[in-house]
């Protein structure tokens, strides 16, 4: 295998593709290209054939086979990793695909680790461990950054953002917590809404203080939550609007459906809620995937139990504890998160030392969830904001 050339400058792709009529499949296909290293032309060639999770898995596996035959390792990693994404958690093939993609990733990028540019650690946590990658800047550091993903992330996807932040003067600690990546898939540790616990383990292990925490997607809740309870965190970046997980989950439903689900929850109508979600799963692939994966990752036995678990993932009742500098970055065409939640989060964070809200747009190729079409713009925004705060 020809390994990745670590002497080359870090570059991020920019662009937005209309590849599938289903908003979630369209987003994930863009993610394959923009974050994971997929080839835009060959992803586009298979994109319109994808209608179900099975279609997705088959398409990605075929692309992985072709990339392997051609010796295109970066593309192969992308397709293997993202073929796993839509395999349901009860399928043994899911763990197999995850491990194949993970092993290939560390082999292909091994020069970063062999030369000591990036170091890997296992931080003890609740009978298991949290994987952490650490890279430090050359010369005088501008500060420490804790970086993590969200609901369905792999921290390998944030490898180049980590390197870019280090290239721009920061020491970066990239980690996975319960419910994420290998912590979920290899150790079966499920999500906790008390994100200060895994974050504390990382801070203690490396003896860090005066840090900036950056959380992507659901990390837009997790990072502020950690900051509310650990004042070694001085600056908080929510790389997504995320005031309340339940509000995010239902915000794109018609208002009558939102009201019905909320009423059922408040009245303890679990049986009716389970029937409603079962019908929704039959009609909408995204609902089916979100619920089945969510029930696994959050250790829930039924849809109503899942709703009960995610309602704990809220800044309501704790936001007044957040007195640090805060940056929230949103996206104007985010199919997961409606922009009106910006106002909800703004209203919650009135005790912040400073509060900066930035809504990036589709005109900047940054309008999709986590601004997937323009990572450089996001990272440059974060860098400039930290420099202004310190």
Nearest to 353 by CA among 320, 383, 376, 330: 320
Q: Which residue has the tokens 């043994």?
A: 92
CA 333, CA 367: separation in Å to the nearest integer?
Answer: 5
Residues 270-291 pLDDT 10s = 999 999 889 988 888 888 888 9
Query: Which of 61, 78, 108 finishes a domain?
Result: 108
Same domain, 339 and 356: yes
146 strand-pairing partners: 173, 213
Residues 278-333 pLDDT 10s = 998 888 888 888 899 999 999 999 999 999 999 999 999 999 999 999 999 999 99
Same domain, 209 and 326: yes
Same domain, 167 and 295: no
Structural domain includes residue 362: yes
Same domain, 335 and 206: yes
Same domain, 100 and 226: no
Q: Which residue segment(s) compose the domain that 326 sits in?
A: 120-244+313-389
3-state SS, residue 33:
helix
Structural domain includes residue 371: yes
pLDDT over threshold 90, residue 340: no
Structural domain includes residue 329: yes
Structural domain includes residue 113: no
Same domain, 297 and 276: yes
DSSP assignment letter at 9: P
Tell how far CA 333 is from the center of its chain.
17
- Domain count across the chain: 3
Same domain, 329 and 369: yes
Residues 349-364 pLDDT 10s = 999 999 999 999 999 9
Q: In which region does residue 383 sit, left (phi positive, over 0), alpha (psi from -120 to 50) or beta (all else)?
A: alpha
Q: Are 213 and 311 in contact (CB under 8 A)?
A: no
**What Å distances lie between residue 244 and 117, 150, 188, 220, 332, CA to CA?**
37, 13, 25, 10, 18
Same domain, 269 and 191: no
What's the longest Cα–Cα distance across the chain? 60
Q: Which pLDDT score is estimated for 337?
A: 92
Query: Which of 269, 292, 308 finishes a domain?
Result: 308
Same domain, 191 and 131: yes
Same domain, 334 and 229: yes
Which CATH number do you get for residue 218?
3.40.50.1820
- HSE at residue 12, side-chain half, CA atoms within 13 A, is 27
Core vs surface per residue 268-289: b (16+ CB within 10 A) or e: ebbeebbebbeebbeeebbbbb
Same domain, 378 and 348: yes
pTM of the model: 0.97
């Amino acid at each position: 295998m020809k390994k990745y050339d670590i002497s080359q400058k870090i570059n991020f792709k920019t662009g937005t593709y209309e590849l599938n009529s289903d908003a979630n499949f369209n987003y994930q296909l863009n993610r394959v290209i923009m974050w994971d290293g997929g080839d835009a032309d060959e992803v586009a060639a298979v994109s319109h054939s994808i209608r179900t999770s099975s279609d997705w898995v088959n398409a990605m596996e075929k692309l992985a086979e072709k990339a392997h035959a051609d010796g295109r390792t970066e593309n192969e990693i992308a397709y293997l990793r993202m073929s796993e994404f839509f395999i349901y958690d009860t399928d043994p093939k899911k763990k197999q695909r995850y491990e194949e993609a993970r092993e290939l990733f560390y082999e292909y990028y091994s020069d970063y680790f062999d030369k000591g540019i990036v170091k890997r650690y296992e931080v003890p946590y609740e009978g298991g461990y949290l994987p952490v990658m650490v890279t430090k800047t050359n010369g005088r550091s501008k500060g420490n950054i804790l970086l993590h993903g969200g609901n369905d992330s792999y921290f390998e996807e944030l490898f180049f953002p980590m390197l870019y932040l280090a290239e721009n003067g920061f020491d970066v600690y990239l980690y996975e917590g319960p419910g994420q990546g290998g912590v979920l898939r290899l150790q079966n540790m499920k999500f906790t809404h008390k994100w200060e616990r895994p974050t504390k383990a990382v801070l203690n292990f490396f003896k860090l203080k005066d840090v900036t925490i950056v959380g992507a997607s659901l990390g837009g809740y997790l990072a502020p939550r950690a900051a509310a309870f650990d004042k070694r965190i001085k600056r908080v970046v929510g790389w997504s609007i995320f005031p309340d997980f339940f509000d995010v989950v239902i915000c794109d439903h018609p208002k009558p459906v939102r009201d019905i689900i909320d009423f059922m929850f408040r009245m303890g109508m679990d049986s009716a809620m389970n029937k409603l979600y079962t019908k929704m799963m039959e009609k909408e692939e995204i609902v089916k995937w979100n619920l089945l994966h969510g029930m696994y990752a959050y250790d829930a036995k039924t849809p109503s139990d899942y709703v009960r678990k995610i309602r704990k993932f809220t800044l309501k009742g704790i936001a007044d504890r957040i007195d640090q500098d805060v940056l929230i970055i949103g996206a104007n065409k985010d199919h997961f998160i409606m922009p009106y939640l910006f106002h909800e989060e703004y209203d919650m964070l009135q005790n912040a030392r400073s509060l900066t809200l930035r809504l990036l747009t589709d005109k900047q190729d940054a309008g999709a969830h986590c601004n997937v079409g323009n990572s450089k713009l996001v990272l440059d925004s974060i860098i400039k904001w930290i420099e202004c705060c310190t």
